Structure formats: structure tokens, C-alpha cells
Amino acid sequence: MKISKLVFILFFCLGFNLQVSGNLNIEEVTTRKGFKFLFVENCDLPKVSLNISFKDAGYAYENAKKQGLTWFTSLIVQEGAGKNDAKDFAKKLEDKGISLNFIADLEAFRISLNTLSENLEDAILLLSDAIVRPKVDSKGLNRVFEKAKVTFNNLEKNPYFVAGKELETLLFKKHPYSKSGYGTLDTVMSITRDDVLTYIKRNFAKDNMVISVVGCATKEEISTLLDEYLSKLPSKRSKVKKIPV
């Protein structure tokens, strides 16, 4: 199995407050349309947690002139998607009690979804809108630019962030791991709509996804929803330059 079972077990236990057991049944499921996911069915609580990682899509892979693009994308996909503008998108999440987070990591772009089982289809629909049909319009871009200005203003005053940034530069020098996930204000303000759409097109693909699901749902139900709502993702991602060891 490509994904560490230990990592999956830890995630499962933290999310569902369970003890690690040798009898924990972790299944590797393949849907009719080729999506693969690790799955544990547990109905102690009526909820489902779904996590997606797009591999080799983190900020370590960014172009120096566009540093912060991964982080920027994690914000803009929440600024309206599908038929929903930003307010409608946020309201639908709130009304259904759905937690949907997008995280720009060093080596991956991650998505964390937590929902009541009864709202699972609505939750996956909203997730799919964000990564398949994001609006990325001028209003959303401007809101994210304003958020970026506030973020950088706060980061510059944060001694832990400044010290951490200096330490990463000292340790990794010119290695991609020395990059800041936020980039700089200048690089972020240079990001365009085309930059975001190109990033999404290159990185959000079926063969690039690592999916794990735990909770009160069946593997058949999860398979059907993934096939229905994520099938429009590209089959293969663009080639990416590997990070040197």
C-alpha cells in the first residue's frame, strides 16, 4: 500500500477518538472511474472525514517569481465556485455544518473535509465546485489580495515567523525547502488569474490524488460520490521537476 497505514491510523484515531487496534480494517478501494482511496467505516459518530492530498503540488515546487501561489490558490478557491459566489459558498457550508479547509503544504496541496453523514453529498459537491469550477473572478482576486496585505503586515511583526524564516534559509540555503509558503508581498501581488488557473490545471488531477475517508458511510456510497462529482478532473497531471535530495 502506497500510503503509510500508521499515518492513516493516527488520523483515524484523532478524528474519531478511538484506540489503535490490530483489528482496524483499512480497505483500499478503487471506484469504477479509477479513483483510489483508503477507507475505514465507523459509525460511532454520524460523521465523515475525507482528506485529499495533491502530491508534488506544494510551495516547494513554485517558481521563484510566483512564490505564494499555492497559498494564494488555497484562498481563492473559497471565494466562489460553481453557481455560488463567495457569500453563498460560505453560507452553504455554514448552514450544513460542513468544515472544508484548503492547506498549502511544503510538498502537497491538501484538502480536509468534515461533515455529518447526512450532508455528505452536499459537502462533496461543494468540494468539487471549489477544485473543478472555481470562479477566480476579479472580486475574489481583489479580496485575496487584501487578505494578503493584512497577512504580510501581521507576519512582519511576528518574531516567531521571522526567526523561522531565517532558520530555514540557514538550514536549506537555496534548496526549495527554504522557500516561504507565503512568498513575499511582491510575488503574491504579481499573481494573475491565469497563474491560478494554470496551477489548478497542472496539479489537480486524478493520478495525483491521495484520498482517505473515515466515518459513517459505506465504501459504495463514497465511490459513487467521488465518481459523480470529481470525474471532471484531468486524468493526468503535468510533469513536475522533482525536488533534489
Q: Is-contact 37 214, C-beta < 8 A?
A: no
Q: What is the pLDDT of residue 68?
A: 96
Neighbours of 190 (CB within 10 A): 15
* Between 144 and 25, the higher pLDDT residue: 144
Sorted by where each begins, the domain ranges of the chain are 54-95+113-203+214-230
pLDDT tens digit string along 178-220? 677 899 999 999 999 999 999 999 999 999 999 999 999 999 9
Distance between CA atoms of residues 46 and 242, nearest Å: 41
- CATH classification of 54-95+113-203+214-230, choosing from 3.30.830.10, 3.40.50.2300, 3.30.365.10, 3.30.390.10? 3.30.830.10
Q: Please state, rounded to an integer, the average pLDDT across all residues of the chain.
A: 88
Q: How high is the pLDDT of residue 1?
A: 42
Q: Which three cell numbers stand for residue 240?
A: 513536475
Cell (9 digits) for 19: 484506540
Average pLDDT over residues 86-113: 97
